[in-house]
Structure 1
Amino acid sequence: MDMLKPADLPDDIAALKALLVASEGRNLRKQDRIDQLEKLVADFRRALFGARSEKTDPEQFELALEDIETAMAAVHAEDAALDPPASRATKPRNTNRGSLPKHLPRIEEVIEPEQTLCGCGAERHVIGEDTSERLDIIPAQFRVIVTRRPKYACRSCTNGVVQAPAPARLIPGGMPTEATVAHVLVSKYADHLPLYRQAQIYSRQGIDLDRSTLAGW
């Protein structure tokens, strides 16, 4: 926020007090942000240059980076709220909003106006359209594959029972499908998601699995 000039200050004492209180509040909030960022920077330095016993786990390193980005975004948002665009010089920010790959499926919805009949009595026709895209996500869905193998017997003789053989499983007698095992492995080794956290995700869906069980897959 730009510094106020003496000519911009109100003459009313109550207004001056309110302005001073608001300024002190902003300074305190910014100091809190500064203290938080300084602590995170210190953690980074210790992780990079500290002794072996002080080095930070890579996962905690990524979490600290997210904390810094979140704190910086909060500071920018607060500055924007306190200093509206009309009161400061326009300066474009370099932001990366990401891009939506072409291979992702598109679910289109068309929002038509409530009335297309013109006041003259004629029907309006389409001359163009505005299109926008948003990224949506479908949470992981668990399902149970039930395999039934009917048994057939002859009512006229006793030549035995016929039944299809059980399909081969990746883990003999095990509960997971091949897709489930692949998901656990990719989550652990590619996404660095520990088994205990995966067990917590399963637990939220009512599926109780021990970490040792996941490790055996």
Structure 2
Amino acid sequence: MPSYPGTRRTPPPQQHSRVVTANGNGRAVLPCAGHAEVPAEVAQHHVHTLAAGQCCSVLVKTIAAPVDVVWSLVRRFDHPQGYKAFIRTCRIVDGDGSTVGSVRELEVVSGLPAQNSRERLEILDDERRVISFRILSGEHRLANYRSVTTVHETATQDGPRAMVVESYVVDVPPGNTAEDTCIFANAIVGINHRTLASRARWNAGNATEESELDYN
């Protein structure tokens, strides 16, 4: 596992939260149907508490690039525009961008139903490759959005690949349905994943070429 400048080890991440519903005897823990396809050893980081009027989802992307290359992009709370296509600028306004509690302010590209977002880093664990953030405020449709992203190595018939799992919970805006809200959020996350895959493959290819040049 490579080390990253400015990283402080945080305590092992807890299960991020649980899916909870009310019943006659109190509170019951139920599985989230959207997480059904996530392997158990990965799902422990992707469990959310759903309040009334919220929805959750999870997206999985397999990338033909080394996990460390993918993680080096995903972990950059201070530079999400490195692969998130809809972010114009990012400014750290509290903390150093690599410790839990750091806060960033984002400006969004034009053409989206959003302008800016203020977000807090909740988890950054380089050993387990887990990052989590929550949206504090901003002009957008994703109120009370909390996201967890993990990067893992997975075996395929073409060899080892990076598997990115990203889950979230968010408020359903007034006048919208949970399905509409997840379709909107999933579309943004899906585009980010495709951009991440392209950037990671490009970075991995350049690293290979540089290594060959150094060797020769």
Please give the TM-score of this superposition, normalised by the length of structure 2. 0.18
Specify which structure has the bigger relative contact order, considering alpha-carbon pairs within 8 angstroms and separated by 6 or more residues: 2
**Max radius of gyration: which structure?**
1
Bigger fraction of residues in strand:
2
- TM-score, with length taken from structure 1: 0.18
